Amino acid sequence: MEAAPRTSNEKAGVTPLLTFSILSSFLKIHDKMKAAAMTLKKLAVDDPRRVRHSLKVGLTLTVISVFYYVKALYSGLGQSTMWAVLTVVVVTEYTAGATLYKGLNRVIATLLAGALGLGAHRLAALAGNDGKSVLLGVFVFLLAAMVTFSRFVPEIKARYDYGATIFILTFSLVSVSGYRVEELIGLAHHRLSTVAIGVAACMATSIAIFPVWAGEELHNLVASNLDTLASFLEGVGKEYFEQKLESHKNLEGASFLIGYKSVLNSKAMEDSLANFARWEPGHGQFGFRHPWKQYLKIGALARQCACSMQSLNGFISATEKSEALTNSEFQQNIKTACAVMCSESGKALAELASAIRDMRPPTAAAGHLGNAATVGSQVKMMGPSETTTVEEVLLYATMANLLLEIVHGAKHVADAVVQLANMAKFKHAEEAKSGVAKHNGDGESLHVVIDTKLLFNYLSFDHPLNQQGGVLHNTK
Amino acid sequence: MEAAPRTSNEKAGVTPLLTFSILSSFLKIHDKMKAAAMTLKKLAVDDPRRVRHSLKVGLTLTVISVFYYVKALYSGLGQSTMWAVLTVVVVTEYTAGATLYKGLNRVIATLLAGALGLGAHRLAALAGNDGKSVLLGVFVFLLAAMVTFSRFVPEIKARYDYGATIFILTFSLVSVSGYRVEELIGLAHHRLSTVAIGVAACMATSIAIFPVWAGEELHNLVASNLDTLASFLEGVGKEYFEQKLESHKNLEGASFLIGYKSVLNSKAMEDSLANFARWEPGHGQFGFRHPWKQYLKIGALARQCACSMQSLNGFISATEKSEALTNSEFQQNIKTACAVMCSESGKALAELASAIRDMRPPTAAAGHLGNAATVGSQVKMMGPSETTTVEEVLLYATMANLLLEIVHGAKHVADAVVQLANMAKFKHAEEAKSGVAKHNGDGESLHVVIDTKLLFNYLSFDHPLNQQGGVLHNTK
């Protein structure tokens, strides 16, 4: 919608002030609509599956509605339309897993509660006409309270929350409806079949037409989180630790520096995807019993690494603001070692991410982590040189130690990924396992030798401190 | 349920193996039921409001059902029962805010979509009997696809997700139902009033009878998270930094050491509570426009502190395993400083938590944080002594620096809490603001003097390194 009266407003007989205020509110509305359109466009471009999903929902609903509309015209009953439409609208979710979770919960809960409701009816009928409604009221109260309370149990909340709601709903509807039992059975049968058809339509659409699998989303999310961590490490290594103090660019706001934040916030998403993934049938390379829980373990370990990265990031900004730092030998040594640790653990995490994506064991990760650990253990032997300030020692020591913690964390992630490869029987899983156990042997050792050599070249390892067994002496 | 055949199984004529297997399966069932009962009991004891909520749901549902049951008996229509029961079951949530969110979304979406559906009917009728169902199908498709897509917009997802679902549902139901427009208006009116009564019943119950306010939950959650962080710091200060190396207890699994994990995982809960809190009317000390978003800010800053605590925790376990550590003077100095930083920042966080709980400005927090920062800046001047190993220097430097980062983080939390106190007009908010600005003046200065003195007694500040301007020299 274009803001039409933008030009030629002088010709109108209104005061300039009024013209201006009308103009500016038109422009404001125009800007807001433009912003909204941009938001929508971005949502569509970022993930075209969202558009497809919306069209799918529209299509399923239209087909079901029109089918029942035509049927209702002939049979004269509008009721079944309602249940079918209601089911489709309420059950359809973005991922196939969520749709299956809701659909199966709905059908099973409707079936169970319907049967129980009929039983309650028969039981209450024994109490005669007067006692019947009282007894039914008591049943509804007890069942609703009990099932509502059961929803506080975490396992039930995670798997059967929707089913619990539908269970209460159906039981109440059946037991309190004013119909006789004979009528009820026919009605229940009719309704259940309508609900089942609605659910089947949703499930078929969500599985057969451009399915979005919760399991695959989880798989990709975990892999891309590891990639995010890898690019943090690689970025910090190249842009910070490999630079001299004076040639530091201002890293504030660099995208690789803040990526860890999205990793820290991904727990809720991972949990819900893992919950839904359990309901999905085997698809593509994922079996029905694919170890989805293991992804949550990897995710938790990744967040632990991200935490250390957040701390490291804080210290990087601190060194950028500090004026007490010099280009001392000690600083250069630590930074060189840190650069190697960053690059090696970054490579390891990137390899883990790509191994998850390709569903193969992460063969090269252990070697990189071995290199990083070797360099890390060298850091413990480094001593400050003459020109170093205490603040500098503390700051760089902290960064090196945090990186070591990140390397340890990445090792845990690697172990969890190897475990995943074994559990999900990724190709060559056995070889990967043995590869981890002897990461200093065979093909892997090449890495270690080369990189340690590289490091020895960078660092002056004939430093007197190292020859004195790593004990610091001050000039007392 | 007791496992009855536990005794006297020898007398029976069955083989011992069969007896044993029956017995053991009975015992297993017994154990499982016992465990389930314990879980339920724990849920009830931990928060008795869960039981109350369940009873409330049962009661509301029974009252509405029986009311409509009786009405249906007289009018002969079972339909209204259904809508009222359905509304109550689907709308009632644990917190008042969530119930209001769903209830208002439901009523408004039903109203809007109903009107739009009638309009669509009239419009489609212009196309004649043949074109009508085609046009209606097209309308349903377009609207369902558009509204479904709009649910991907984060703001709509957060505030109007349920409304969007109900909007699609009602629009489809109205436009595809086989009724004529005249019938529809009466029906729509009837249904809307039933839904409105159901929603009103839920809202009244959730607000009037033992309400659980999402806002209050958020308020308490944020305060208790700060308490958790405070007890981490106080615990680490007392049980670790104040202890000599040889008298370290094994801290593994100590509850104060792992509390930060729950803080790290609280984001999803905080977000959802803040979303629901916005729908709640003023209650107790919370106004309708209470700044709920500020709690999210405090929560995010608290998680940042928790991240640093996770790193610190890693290094504490590392020192407990390391054999390279000695009881050097350097170590004792750093540990004493760390103990003061822990205790002061712990006190500050505890004060912040209690200030939030009491809804008063956090007057004492700034003083404690000032003390912690003063001691922290002394750490930068400390140098290693002769007996210190490099590993020891690096390890303790790292811990001290992480603690400094925690102190900085706590300062940000304190600022955010002061901001909250101003925004929500906690009592004496003006005084609190000026208190932060000049935390070294007036009543606060006492703290600083006392604690710095204490520290100077602990530490040997005549250490030669400190007299040499903090520059380290090694015996080159």
pLDDT, tens digit, 9 for 90 and up, residues B413-428: 999 999 999 998 887 6
Check A476 against B386: CB less than 8 A apart.
Answer: yes
Among B65, B138, B397, select the one facing A394 at the smallest CB separation: B397
What is the SS3 string spanning chain A? CCCHHHCCCCCCCCCHHHHHHHHHHHHHHHHHHHHHHHHHHHHHHHCCHHHHHHHHHHHHHHHHHHHHHHHHHHHCCCHHHHHHHHHHHHHCCCCHHHHHHHHHHHHHHHHHHHHHHHHHHHHHHCCHHHHHHHHHHHHHHHHHHHHHHHCCCHHHHHHHHHHHHHHHHHHHHHHHCCCCHHHHHHHHHHHHHHHHHHHHHHHHHHHHCCCCCHHHHHHHHHHHHHHHHHHHHHHHHHHHHCCCHHHCCCCCCCHHHHHHHHHHCCHHHHHHHHHHHCCCCCECCECCCCCHHHHHHHHHHHHHHHHHHHHHHHHHHHHHHCCCCCCCHHHHHHHHHHHHHHHHHHHHHHHHHHHHHHCCCCCCHHHHHHHHHHHHHHHCCCCCCCCCEHHHHHHHHHHHHHHHHHHHHHHHHHHHHHHHHHHCCCCCHHHHHHHHHCCCCHHHHHHHHHHHHHHHHHCCCCCHHHHCCCECCCCC
Average pLDDT rounded to a whole number, residues B96-104? 95
The predicted structure's pLDDT at residue A378 = 83
| pLDDT of residue B444 exceeding 80 | no
CA angle A255, A257, A258 (to 5 degrees): 75
| pLDDT of residue A12 exceeding 70 | no
Amino acid symbol at B176: V
Are A371 and A414 contacting, i.e. CB atoms less than 8 angstroms apart? no
Check A311 against B314: CB less than 8 A apart.
Answer: no
| pLDDT of residue B7 exceeding 60 | no
Average pLDDT rounded to a whole number, residues B252-261? 83
The predicted structure's pLDDT at residue B452 = 42
| pLDDT of residue B303 exceeding 60 | yes
| CA-wise closest residue to B169 among A467, A418, A85, A190 | A85
**CA of B390: how far to CAs of A329, A384, A401, in Å?**
16, 9, 12
Among B57, B381, B465, select the one facing A145 at the smallest CB separation: B57
Are A178 and A132 contacting, i.e. CB atoms less than 8 angstroms apart? no
Helix B128-150 vs helix A16-46: crossing angle, to nearest 10: 80
Are A215 and A292 contacting, i.e. CB atoms less than 8 angstroms apart? yes
B179 to chain A, closest Cα gap in Å? 8
| pLDDT of residue B429 exceeding 70 | no
Check A137 against B62: CB less than 8 A apart.
Answer: yes
Residues of chain B neighbouring A69 (CB-CB closer than 8 A): 133, 136, 176-178
For chain B, give the longest Cα–Cα distance: 103
Average pLDDT rounded to a whole number, residues A124-142? 86
Average pLDDT rounded to a whole number, residues A48-56? 94
Contacts of residue B369, Cβ cutoff 8 Å, sequence gap at least 6: B344, B345, B348, B407, B410, B411, B414, B439
- The secondary structure of residue B6, as a DSSP letter, is G
Check B54 against A384: CB less than 8 A apart.
Answer: no
The predicted structure's pLDDT at residue B162 = 95
- Of residues A430 and A399, the one with the higher pLDDT is A399
Average pLDDT rounded to a whole number, residues A281-289? 88
Confidence of residue A65 (pLDDT cuts 50, 70, 90): confident
The predicted structure's pLDDT at residue A441 = 36
For chain A, give the longest Cα–Cα distance: 103
Confidence of residue A451 (pLDDT cuts 50, 70, 90): very low
Contacts of residue B160, Cβ cutoff 8 Å, sequence gap at least 6: B105
Of A367-376, A432-441, A458-467, B224-233, which has the strongest mean pLDDT? B224-233
The predicted structure's pLDDT at residue A475 = 32
The predicted structure's pLDDT at residue B178 = 61
Amino acid symbol at B163: G
- Of residues B235 and A178, the one with the higher pLDDT is B235
Q: Does ipTM come in above 0.90?
A: no
The predicted structure's pLDDT at residue A303 = 95
Beta-carbon pairs below 8 A across chains A and B: 295
Of A206-220, B78-92, B120-134, which has the strongest mean pLDDT? A206-220
Q: What is the pLDDT of residues B141-186, one digit of tens each?
A: 999 999 999 999 999 998 999 999 999 998 988 887 766 667 778 7
| pLDDT of residue A129 exceeding 70 | yes
The predicted structure's pLDDT at residue B438 = 40
**Is the CA virtual torsion B363, B367, B372, B373 positive or negative?**
positive
The predicted structure's pLDDT at residue B14 = 58
The predicted structure's pLDDT at residue A25 = 87
Among B55, B69, B172, select the one facing A89 at the smallest CB separation: B172
> Is residue B217 exposed (0-12), middle (13-18) or buried (19+ Cβ within 10 Å)?
buried
Q: By CA distance, what is B377's nearest residue in A?
A: A391
| pLDDT of residue A11 exceeding 60 | no
- Which range is least confidently modeled, A42-46, A132-136, B353-357, B451-455? B451-455
Amino acid symbol at B319: T
The predicted structure's pLDDT at residue A409 = 94
Check B153 against A76: CB less than 8 A apart.
Answer: no
The predicted structure's pLDDT at residue B468 = 35
The predicted structure's pLDDT at residue B116 = 92
- Of residues B164 and A316, the one with the higher pLDDT is B164
Q: Which site among A33, A41, A99, A140 would you substitute to test the B interface, given the most B Cβ atoms closer than 10 Å to its Cβ?
A: A140
Average pLDDT rounded to a whole number, residues A426-432? 57
The predicted structure's pLDDT at residue A323 = 67
Query: CA B222 to CA A18: how far, in whole Å?
Result: 49
Average pLDDT rounded to a whole number, residues A443-459? 38
Residues of chain A neighbouring B385 (CB-CB closer than 8 A): 474
Query: CA B412 to CA B304: how far, in whole Å?
Result: 10
Check A144 against B307: CB less than 8 A apart.
Answer: no
Average pLDDT rounded to a whole number, residues A436-462? 38
Query: CA B120 to CA B182: how far, in whole Å?
Result: 14
The predicted structure's pLDDT at residue A247 = 65
The predicted structure's pLDDT at residue B387 = 64
- Which range is least confidently modeled, B106-115, B274-283, B439-448? B439-448
Check A172 against B89: CB less than 8 A apart.
Answer: yes
The predicted structure's pLDDT at residue B235 = 93
A455 to chain B, closest Cα gap in Å? 19
The predicted structure's pLDDT at residue A458 = 39
- Which range is least confidently modeled, A106-110, A231-235, B457-461? B457-461
| pLDDT of residue B1 exceeding 70 | no
Residues of chain A neighbouring B54 (CB-CB closer than 8 A): 144-146, 148-149
Structure tokens given for A417? 């990924």
CA angle A164, A169, A170 (to 5 degrees): 100
Check A173 against B82: CB less than 8 A apart.
Answer: yes
Check A57 against B402: CB less than 8 A apart.
Answer: no
B418 sits in which H/E element: helix B390-423
B23 to chain A, closest Cα gap in Å? 28
Query: CA A246 to CA A334: how far, in whole Å?
Result: 16
H helix runs in B92-153, sequence order:
96-125, 128-150
Q: By CA distance, what is B469's nearest residue in A?
A: A389
The predicted structure's pLDDT at residue B425 = 86
Tokens 């002897």 locate to A438
Residues of chain A neighbouring B394 (CB-CB closer than 8 A): 379-380, 397, 400-401
Q: Which site among B67, B69, B466 would you substitute to test the A interface, given the most A Cβ atoms closer than 10 Å to its Cβ?
A: B69
Q: What is the pLDDT of residues B19-42, one digit of tens each?
A: 888 888 888 999 999 999 999 999
The predicted structure's pLDDT at residue B177 = 72
The predicted structure's pLDDT at residue A91 = 93
Residues of chain B neighbouring A110 (CB-CB closer than 8 A): none
| pLDDT of residue B439 exceeding 80 | no
| pLDDT of residue A95 exceeding 80 | yes
| pLDDT of residue A145 exceeding 50 | yes
The predicted structure's pLDDT at residue A1 = 39
Check A43 against B149: CB less than 8 A apart.
Answer: yes
A311 to chain B, closest Cα gap in Å? 6
Are B12 and B18 contacting, i.e. CB atoms less than 8 angstroms apart? no
- Which range is least confidently modeled, A255-259, A453-457, B100-104, B257-261? A453-457
Residues of chain B neighbouring A61 (CB-CB closer than 8 A): 140-141, 144, 168, 172
* Mean pLDDT computed over every residue of chain B: 81
- Of residues A318 and A70, the one with the higher pLDDT is A318
Check B62 against A140: CB less than 8 A apart.
Answer: yes
Coil, strand, or helix at residue B283?
A: strand
* Mean pLDDT computed over every residue of chain A: 81
